[in-house]
A and B are shown apart, each in its own frame.
Chain A
Amino acid sequence: MTAPSAEPPLIAFRDIDVAIGGRPILTGINLEIYKGEFLCIVGPSGCGKTTLLRLAAGLLPPGSGTVSYEGKPVAGPQRDVAVVFQDYGDALLPWRTAAGNIALVYETMGTPRAERAERIAAVLARVGLAEHADKYPSQLSGGMQQRLQIARCLAQEPKLLLMDEPFGALDAITRQDLQDQVLKIVADSGTTVCFVTHDLEEAIYLGHRVVAMKPHPGRIAATYDVDLPYPRDQQTTPEQPAFMQLRRTLLEFIRGAET
């Protein structure tokens, strides 16, 4: 995985304000995400983390300011920007099998029919679902459904992967397993990731950088570099002084933000 570089940012937020129904949601957002970077956004609920992600996805236009992707203003969703939602149950097509859910991407992108089966198998194998291609989402566990959604995003071959609290609904063991899988996939593909979570340790464990937000209205309060080497390890990484120090800093920050 490459560290943030001096290149122009892959995606940049400039002086973003967003209000929904007259209520300010985000104010004065300035943020750049660089190619190859794993950026985590943390903050209490209501701080506009998800809104920020929706702006990046082109699902929501900013009230004022600009979001630019590869130097061009974002006017709507793009196929090389993929989103992993927290509610995998609602984001998968329940009437299609695991393979069918992946096929949706290739059908839409016009991938030649002859190539599809092979590419579907490859992308399912990357998330460890090769054996479950013919199962329907309802026949898969929560963790497997979320892996399927991640696989569908990988099928888009995204340059930017936006993840909105993707592991928030999963149990601790499954969550750790998926964190490591995502780190491995990202390391292999060099995909840039913007990962929203309310779990501080998850943010530190995964990211190059952690952005901390404050609510009412949502704004960026601080940005921290995570000074920990990759590959990271569920056992040893959290025991490193840098990890513990950053966790303490973020905890104090969050307590301060809520009062």
Chain B
Amino acid sequence: MTTRLRRVDLRGIVVPAVVVVGAEIAARVTHYHSSSLPWPSEVVTAAGAALIDGSMLRATGQTLLAAFGGLMIGASLGLVFGTVMGLFLIVERLAEVTIEALRPIPSVALIPIALLIFGLGYAMEISLIAKTSFWPVLLLTIAAVRGVKPRLLEVARLLRMGLAARIVKVVIPAALPGIFVGFRIAVGAALVVAVTVEIAANPLGLGYAMMRAQEALRPDLVFAYLFWIGIIGWLINGLLSVAQRRLFGGASRAAPP
């Protein structure tokens, strides 16, 4: 089996290209003008200007920093609690009601509390992203730890491995492919919550930049940021899926080269 990085299928670009070019032609033919819907060419111009003057990259850096910080905190806690709950049924039983009660609370609904505790800035945004990314990592870690083959645990028992060695050398590596799926879900959710918090409250990052553009009556710039967020999300997902194949496609199930 060759390690084949799936190429981007260029046919996937046909639909968006037709829509964009079609919209541009329609706008030019009808001389359409509105204060809410810009021409595609205006969006491209606005994006180019924002990229060149650095404002878009600065906002991107802020959003990614908050998302990354929150993700690291939330995913680490999810991994620790998920492993413990996956290994010890009693802990999961004890925590079950608490988890099911807390999990459905939307992160956005916690903005007021986060503001009271942390004020504006990175800390409040990071805390909400951590809360969001905690759940998928927790739940998938529990499932992945439960799913570790009993035979492997027996091998660990027969060698009389200590609890720490058993977790680090057997349970976590065996559960890692499942845990990584949870991590990928958490990454997607972290970006969504980061931008949402920035739009709703926090004067940072891409969400806030969009709000500023809207207040300045710059729909071209609003759309430019919107598409930029889409591109960032697509890139991150692409990177993660390459990482997933590299990490778990090779060592764990590769056939001879």
Contacts and interface: CB of A to CB of B under 8 A. Distances in A.
Contacts of A93: 152, 170, 173-174
Contacts, number: 60
Given A94-B251, A104-B169, A136-B251, A85 B151 contact: yes
Nearest to B177: A95
Interface in A103-124: 104-105, 107-109
Contact of A77 (B149, B157, B254): B157
Interface residues of B, number: 22
A139 B254 contact: yes
Contact of B158 (A59, A87, A138): A59
Contacts of B251: 94-95, 136
A82 interface: yes
A233 B172 CA distance: 45
Given A90-B151, A139-B254, 15 more contacts: A77-B159, A77-B160, A78-B160, A83-B154, A87-B151, A90-B152, A91-B151, A91-B154, A93-B173, A94-B253, A107-B169, A108-B160, A108-B161, A138-B254, A138-B255
B25 interface: no
A255 B160 CA distance: 41
B155 interface: yes
B159 A79 contact: yes
Contacts of A107: 165, 169
A91 B159 contact: no
A94 B252 contact: yes
Given A79-B159, A108-B159, A108-B160, A91 B255 contact: no
B169 to A, nearest CB: 7
A82 B157 CA distance: 11
A113 to B, nearest CB: 15
Contacts of B174: 93, 95
A57 interface: yes
Contact of A82 (B158, B173, B255): B158
A91 B152 contact: yes
A87 B157 CA distance: 17
Interface string A53-81: 00001010000000000000000111101
Interface of A: 57, 59, 76-79, 81-83, 85, 87, 90-91, 93-95, 104-105, 107-109, 136, 138-139, 156
B256 interface: yes
A59 B156 CA distance: 11
A59 B170 contact: no
Contacts of A82: 158
Contacts of B176: 95
Contacts of B254: 136, 138-139
Contact of B159 (A87, A94, A136, A156): A156
21 contacts: A59-B158, A76-B157, A76-B160, A77-B157, A78-B160, A79-B159, A91-B151, A93-B152, A93-B170, A93-B173, A93-B174, A94-B251, A94-B253, A95-B173, A95-B252, A107-B165, A107-B169, A108-B165, A136-B252, A139-B256, A156-B159
A157 B161 CA distance: 16
B173 A105 contact: no
B213 to A, nearest CB: 48
A58 to B, nearest CB: 8
